[in-house]
Each structure stands twice: as C-alpha cells, then as structure tokens.
Amino acid sequence: MTSIRSQLTPLSDALHDSPLLSVQSLSVFFRTAGGAVARAVDGVSFTVDAGETVCVVGESGCGKSVTAMSLLRLVAPPGKIEPGSAIRFDGRDLLTLPDEALRDIRGQHIAMIFQEPSTALNPVLTVGSQVAEVVRVHTTASRHEAWQRAVEMLTQVGIADPAVRAKQYPHELSGGMRQRVMIAMALVMHPKLVIADEPTTALDVTIQAQILELLREMRAKNGMALLLITHDLGVVAEMASRVIVMYAGRVVEEAPVSALFSAAAHPYTEGLLAAVPRLGVEQTRLTTIPGTVPPSTDWPTGCRFRDRCAYAFDRCAIEEPTLLQVGSAHRARCHLIEEPERRVPRADRLT
Ligand code: SF4
C-alpha cells in the first residue's frame, strides 16, 4: 500500500511547465437555513506559477475568501465544493487527496495567513510554542530544536528580543507583532505557496506597510508563490505581478498588474480603480460604484454586474458574458469587448 509520505514526496518532481496551483471550474455553494442555495463561488478558474504573486480583488461578498478557503478544503459545512471542480497543487489533486495527506500539505507546502491574528492564534499558548508546534507536526525535530527554529523564525520576521517574545502570550503583543507571528508560523516550513487573506486589513496604515514589506522580502528570500486576497488596490499595485478581479462569484477580469492599471477592460475594475483616492490629483469627491454586490442566493440573469454598470445595454440583461481575450494574458467578462462602440456611459448611472 502506498504510504501517505510517499504520496507526498518529492513534491518538486511535479512537471516544471505546469503551474504550481491550478484551479479549474471551482464552484462552492451553501444551503441556507431557509433552503436556498447560495452559489458563493461559481466556475472560477485561475493559475499561480511558482514564485509568482497573484492578487485576488473584489468587494466583500464577491467570493474571494471562500475561494481561498476552498483551496485547502477549509470550507466548513454547510459549504460544499461542487463536483466538477478541480484544484491541483504541484501535480496533486487537492480535492481527492486523503485527509491525512492534505493535512501534511497544509502548513508544510501551502500555508495560510488570516486577516485577524488575534482569532487565529491560540490565546493560552505562548507564541513561540505555536510556531514550534508547526515544526513538530511536520518534522521529527525535538522539542528543543523546534523551539530554536521558532525563535530563529521570529527573528527573521523582525520581532525584537525574539527569545523573550517567544515566551509571551498573544495578548502581550501588539497587533502588528501578532501578524508577524502569524507570518512566522506560515513560513517556518518554507512553503511553496502562501495564501494571505486580507493580511493587513486589521492593522494601522504604518504597520500595514511594514507587514507588506515583510511579505515581499520573505517571498523574494524563500522563492514562494503568494496568493494575496485583498479589497485594496493600493496593496495590489505594491505587491502583484498578476491580478484576478472577482465579482458575484465569478472571475470578471484577469491581467498582468500593469495592464490592469493602465487599461482595465471590465467596467467593475474601472469602477474599483476610479474609487481609489489619488495623491496630487484634486478630487472634489470620491467616485463610487453605485449599489452593492447582489446576494449569492440570487445572482441576476445576464451580466451579474448590470444593475451597477454605467454601460449596461439590452444584451447585458439576457446573455451572460464569457471571459474573452483582451490582450496578452489579459481577459475580461464583458460584452463591450465584442461591442466596443457601446462603451458610452449612461447619464443616469454616473456618480
Ligand atoms: Fe456592463 Fe454589460 Fe459589460 Fe456587464 S456585460 S459589465 S453590464 S457592459
């Protein structure tokens, strides 16, 4: 019988030409108490190459976090990944992998950093022992060796007096320091992929910048790929090489970061970019996208963005657009790509 360990190693034997992570037709639904089906993620496909930083952007309720949780099968019931979805990591099918093998991948080869470190850290264990525990779970290191590695890792993520801090509890540390501990836990096994879900949202602006800089440094040093979930286009501009824009459970645009910022093709992306305050540009008021993301129990027919779109025309109400090629590695889900002459904003939709 094949052992769990032999199913997992060596991960680096996987085909070098294939992406590190490949998500194909991922759909996740939740059955609500009233019996309705919420299709939170609906046919999402994307890839992440080794060493690449890909940002997933969109407003709350667009399916970004559910997508991230699905990658490690962390969607809690009543959430369910639909048959036909496929997630491959380094040549392995994560959706059919036995639980024990998947546990070995989590933390060792794919790590997650969450938005709120205070809820992700165990309040009754010292931070050093929480980092050391990751080492103990995935290696044969002794308690002492694991502790040494934990302290080393706390040093690498910029925690001053790491030997002292390691013996402290999460509540004794500032929010920024707790997030550094989370990053130490995520990186201590040198994973190939780190998934970070809004890792700086709960932090002050100056600490945010430090944490992003730390992630960038650690990515460059360890060569890991980073899948960064964020609603903040400033973070995207700083970090991403490629961007995936999600709206109403769908990918609506995918592009290299420079193409997205210079020539966004989807009106939703255009709206997100217009809503970013710009330094040195006089703005009498901030532009906003009118309305809100529709509920996932009731996605509109046709284009899901049509009720908020300044360019919506009759075809948008009856036919859902598919992802169409806009340029090199740039795709968008909008009828305007086939009918560019329709890109004339409706006066009643301008904000
Ligand atoms: Fe707007 Fe129509 Fe494009 Fe949807 S398909 S984004 S409604 S123009």
Test site for ligand 1: of 245, 303, 331, most ligand atoms within 8 A of the Cβ: 303
C-alpha distances out from residue 195 to 13, 126, 288, 319, 337, Å? 22, 24, 29, 34, 32
Rounded to the nearest integer, the mean pLDDT of the chain is: 89
Report pLDDT for 77: 84
**Ligand 1 mean position, distance from CA 255 (Å):** 18
Report pLDDT for 284: 57
User: Is residue 345 very low, low, confident or very high in pLDDT (cuts 50, 70, 90)?
Assistant: confident
Judging by beta carbons within 10 Å of its beta carbon (0-12, 13-18, 19+), is residue 320 exposed, middle or buried? Answer: middle
For residue range 179-190, list pLDDT tens digits in order.
999 999 999 999
- Share above pLDDT 90 across residues of the chain, in percent, rounded to a whole number: 70
**Ligand 1 mean position, distance from CA 307 (Å):** 9
For residue range 90-102, list pLDDT tens digits in order.
999 999 999 999 9
Taking the CA of residue 303 as reference, the ligand 1 atom at the shortest distance is 4
Kindly state if the Cβ of 92 falls inside 6 Å of ligand 1: no
What's the average model confidence in pLDDT over 146-152? 96
**Ligand 1 mean position, distance from CA 53 (Å):** 28
User: Is residue 211 very low, low, confident or very high in pLDDT (cuts 50, 70, 90)?
Assistant: confident
Among protein residues, the one with the nearest Cα to ligand 1's atom 5 is 334
Place of tokens 């030997």: 163
Cβ–Cβ under 8 Å, residues 244 and 212: no
User: Is residue 133 very low, low, confident or very high in pLDDT (cuts 50, 70, 90)?
Assistant: very high
Kindly state if the Cβ of 250 falls inside 6 Å of ligand 1: no
Q: Residue 8 above 80 pLDDT?
A: no
Among protein residues, the one with the nearest Cα to ligand 1's atom 3 is 334
Kindly state if the Cβ of 247 falls inside 6 Å of ligand 1: no
Would you list the domain boundaries of the chain?
18-246, 251-276+293-349
What's the average model confidence in pLDDT over 57-72? 93
User: Is residue 143 very low, low, confident or very high in pLDDT (cuts 50, 70, 90)?
Assistant: very high
Report pLDDT for 4: 37
Report pLDDT for 134: 95
Report pLDDT for 314: 95
What's the average model confidence in pLDDT over 134-150? 95
Test site for ligand 1: of 246, 293, 307, 316, most ligand atoms within 8 A of the Cβ: 316
Test site for ligand 1: of 299, 336, 341, most ligand atoms within 8 A of the Cβ: 336
What's the average model confidence in pLDDT over 138-146? 95
Cβ–Cβ under 8 Å, residues 274 and 349: no
**Ligand 1 mean position, distance from CA 273 (Å):** 16
**Ligand 1 mean position, distance from CA 70 (Å):** 28
Report pLDDT for 17: 66
* Omega of the bond leading into 78 within 30 degrees of 0 (cis): yes
**Ligand 1 mean position, distance from CA 83 (Å):** 29
Among protein residues, the one with the nearest Cα to ligand 1's atom 7 is 306
Flag the least confident range among 56-60, 144-148, 201-205.
201-205
Report pLDDT for 2: 37
Q: Which strands make up the sheet holding 250-256, listed edge to edge?
A: 110-113, 193-197, 225-230, 53-57, 242-247, 250-256, 330-332, 324-327
Judging by beta carbons within 10 Å of its beta carbon (0-12, 13-18, 19+), is residue 291 exposed, middle or buried? Answer: exposed
| Nearest-angstrom CA–CA distance, 273 and 233 | 7
| Paired residues of 250 in beta bridges | 247
Flag the least confident range among 10-14, 256-260, 267-271, 294-298.
10-14
Q: Residue 110 above 50 pLDDT?
A: yes
For residue range 235-255, list pLDDT tens digits in order.
999 999 999 999 999 999 999
**Ligand 1 mean position, distance from CA 294 (Å):** 15
Q: Residue 271 above 60 pLDDT?
A: yes
| Nearest-angstrom CA–CA distance, 234 and 191 | 26
The segment with the largest mean pLDDT, out of 7-11, 33-37, 132-136, 207-211, is: 132-136
**What architecture (CATH level 2) is domain 18-246?**
3-Layer(aba) Sandwich (3.40)
Report pLDDT for 281: 58
Q: What is the DSSP secondary structure assignment for residue 249, as one 8-state letter?
A: T
Kindly state if the Cβ of 312 falls inside 6 Å of ligand 1: yes
**Ligand 1 mean position, distance from CA 337 (Å):** 10
| Nearest-angstrom CA–CA distance, 282 and 44 | 38
